[in-house]
């Protein structure tokens, strides 16, 4: 059945969910580039802007339904924060050993990068990431609710 009859096609949800998570990865990469370029001048609360963009991506990617949008927006925001730390860890390793970023990603392996990303996403950064995930869920819920009603 179509969305006009109250049901959302599953393929729309699957493709939309994939698009939202890929947008989260892209935002995490852009965030990592900003941190690599400007260093400590990039504030940790920048993740709130990532959350707003993730919620907007959720609104644009998913069919008008209220159920999945907040969860997917929050997950994409947390994915962006984690991916940013993955890339920063790989960049630090690349700088220490004088190798390229891709070589660093290949040589380090998932386990080491996961450990370094978890360490990097601790303390204040984790608090900001969780607050941003809540903001993304709230914005996606409000936007998806308006789309479902209107």
| pLDDT, tens digit (0-9, with 9 covering 90-100), for 57-107 | 998 888 776 678 899 999 999 999 999 999 999 999 999 999 999 999 999
Residue 42: helix, strand or coil by DSSP?
A: coil
Both ends of the chain: CA-CA distance in Å?
A: 19
As a whole number of angstroms, the distance between CA 98 and CA 112 comes to 18
Buried b / exposed e over 60-73, threshold 16 CB at 10 Å, is: ebbbbbbebbbbbb
> Do 20 and 58 meet the contact criterion of CB atoms below 8 Å apart?
yes
Rounded to whole angstroms, the Cα distance separating 135 from 89 reads 26
φ, ψ (nearest 5 deg) of residue 134? -65, -40
Tell me the per-residue pLDDT of 109-143, one tens digit each, with 9 for 90 and over: 889 999 988 888 888 889 999 999 999 999 998 76
């Amino acid at each position: 059945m179509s969305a006009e009859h109250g049901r959302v096609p599953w393929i729309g949800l699957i493709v939309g969910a994939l698009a939202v998570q890929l947008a989260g990865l892209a935002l995490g990469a852009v965030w990592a580039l900003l941190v690599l370029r400007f260093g400590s001048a990039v504030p940790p609360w920048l993740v709130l802007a990532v959350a707003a963009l993730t919620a907007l991506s959720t609104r644009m990617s998913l069919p008008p339904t209220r159920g999945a949008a907040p969860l997917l927006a929050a997950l994409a925001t947390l994915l962006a924060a984690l991916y940013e730390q993955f890339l920063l860890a790989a960049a630090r390793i690349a700088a220490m050993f004088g190798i390229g970023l891709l070589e660093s990603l290949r040589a380090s392996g998932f386990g080491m990068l996961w450990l370094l990303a978890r360490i990097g996403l601790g303390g204040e950064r984790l608090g900001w990431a969780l607050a941003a995930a809540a903001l993304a869920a709230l914005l996606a819920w409000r936007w998806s609710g308006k789309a479902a009603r209107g």
